[in-house]
Structure 1
Amino acid sequence: MGPLSGLTVVDLTRALSGPYATLLLGGLGATVIKIEEPGSGDVARGNVPYLGRDGVHRLPQHDDDLSIPFLERCRGKLGITLNLKHPEAISVFDDLIRDADIVVENFSAGTADRLGIGYRHAREVNPRLVYTSISGFGGDAPGDSGKAYDVTIQALSGLTLASGSEGDDPVRVGLPLGDMVAPLFAVMGTVAAVVKARETGLGQHVDVSMLGALTSMVAVEPWGGYAATGMSPRTGNFLNRLAPFGIFAAADGQVTICAANDRFFTRLPAAMGMPELLADPRFATRAPRAAHADEIHAIVASWTAGLTVAEICERLAAADIPVSEVRTPEEAVRDPRVRARGETVPLAHPDHGVAEQLHGSGLPIVFSDTPAGFDGPAPHLGQHNDRVYGGLLGYPPERIARMREQGLL
């Protein structure tokens, strides 16, 4: 029932960046047909931990246990197998894309062409097809660009030297942002290309690089301006140009305080019991506060250290100053506000149902007329072969059996 209902996506992706893109397309209502290698499947099937009939374990306990990361990123997809290196694979692939709307792949640049299933081939079969590629460095990258992994992209984008404090070693961001930002742009580009294809009848190639996507986000901050003015771009848990702004230790935890403008700051000294701060020329307005960020942050930190998280939040909330507790990821995904909006959802095993203690990403978009979300759990390997090849493509049972015998499925 989502806004992309009626569209069909042929999913050639694996690992994280590609499967996350097709997860989002499926959550928006598209039918996603996920193609996996017979026997082994998506490499994410081997990621720990696992969920099965006996709950969560670090290692699989039964043959039907499934990787929790796989369960997260492959929900609602129709799972089929196809050996893309088999001589007959291209004709089957052509049948799959002939009436499809979108193909998404995240092979290394050039791999799809070498397999004979790249964009040039696909557009001959279906001219209105939108063919989306996600790769480390883009389809036009030099051949010596190297392999792309999340930490590789974080390092090359400058992100690892954006976090932390001046003089610290590079910091890997805890979320795999290198793998997750590119899919967001890929989905944006794919939907835009589908809109254009409906107008012209012609699809196109959407080419997104992980490095370009993440670096474009890093570039939002004025790094050149920092360098030109001698400001340190690495300020740890604080943002000096908006001081006081950051994470402060309380007596029993941590809080964020964001008095990012003069309107908020004028209320902060009274809430802290330090009205004299308003008369201090170092702190009276935003620009001087940024220049004296370390000093105002130290004053606020000294105040928060003597209070509990609850006391700080109560006092600052009463003064209408942005404040929050710092939570663990496990606490955050259970927030009743995000659960009520479907922004996080319980994960389910295809055989053993919902695991209430496990939460996956929801679709953080609420549509007024076309409800969206993930329909069903991730599939077992090849679970929907008969449904797709027999029901969708109309292959007779004998042909499907022969394809299995020949190692095509």
Structure 2
Amino acid sequence: MTSVSQGRSDVPEIDLTDSEVLRDPFAAYGAIRERSPLARLVIPGLGPVWVVMRYDDARAMLGDSRLEITSGSFTPPPGIPEDCLPYLRTMSDASPPEHLRLRRLVAPAFSPRRAADFRPRIEPIVERLLDDLTEDAKDGPIDLLERFARPLPMEVICELVGIPLADRPRWREYGATVAAGMGEGFSVALPGIVAGAKAAIARRHDTPGDDVVSDLVRVRAEDGDRLSDREMVSLVWHLVLAGQTPTNLIANAVGTLLTHPEQLALLRADPTLMPRAVEELIRWCGPVLLSIPRYAREDVSIQGTPIRTGEPVTAAIASANRDPRTFDDPDRLDLTRAGGPPGHLGFAHGPHFCLGAPLARIQTEVAIAALLRRYPDLTLALAPGELRHVPDPGTWRLPSLPVTL
């Protein structure tokens, strides 16, 4: 990641409170990217964070073992009960040897093949939610985010973890709370999630089923290593937290399709485009704007700029995924764009590539395919120019998605 020499003082800065950055991060980051491969984020209340702007550098940074995710990469909200704090430490902020061990043990339960096997259990969940949507829409436009995209991931997680049907309404409330951010309700929801995860694990010790918890209870490495119950509870918590990504991905994708009628028509005419379309939508309007910060274990250099030990570095995913050095005409949405490498960085890269990426892809494919099949007249219930995103510097997301079925 070394190249052109560049001093630390002439690196451009990006103010994350700037209205233009919040309104259109793709354009704001794109302008900086063409000026410099590296910038510094200015975050009120925190020190500056280095941000890598271009695809090749971002991919290299995300795979660089000298830059690691640590407990400093995550800031737990206040008010978390002390007995829940150990479960907040997940695989993501484990030390490299421990991270590798945990990843090796849990990866088979989240493989593309396991996700594909799970598709038949996602499809009826989607259909059931759409049945409710159809009933609600008799009174006029409905909010597709609130009524469909938000509840879907938690329903899938409940199925994945083996949460009893009687407990699922409470878990839906947990999911809505977690998806809303780390506010006051977050510290209230966490103890319930931890208690529910402990109960699910205890059940699967006694009565294994066809779910991820049962897979994890059964897994044992060749050397006899296996996950502890605490590690499994942490993983369930991590699933709840990271598993909310499809909420914003599905809402962004549907909103984008409805404002790009020519691309929507292509997809309606050829449903076999769906897997490729989902990859393009993740690239073009994925919810992740910035990667989880990494910290330098030693002095490193990115494009000739020295990054000192202990300094945080992030990748501007929104910028890298639209880098013209990697993608032809990157600001154009093209559902027929050829797949294969180089792929987008919407699920990161390297040791911390999103474990749940196969499941998120399948959820999104199933959700969009069912929407388009069941509602051929699906349209926005407002003018395309009125579709605004939440001014969130970390996540590209909609506050609502009003549609007419």
TM bucket (normalised to shorter chain) is under 0.3
TM-score (norm: length of structure 1)? 0.20
TM-score (norm: length of structure 2)? 0.21
Q: Which has the higher strand share?
A: 1
Instruction: Name the structure, 1 or 2, with higher relative contact order (CA <8 Å, separation 6+).
Output: 2
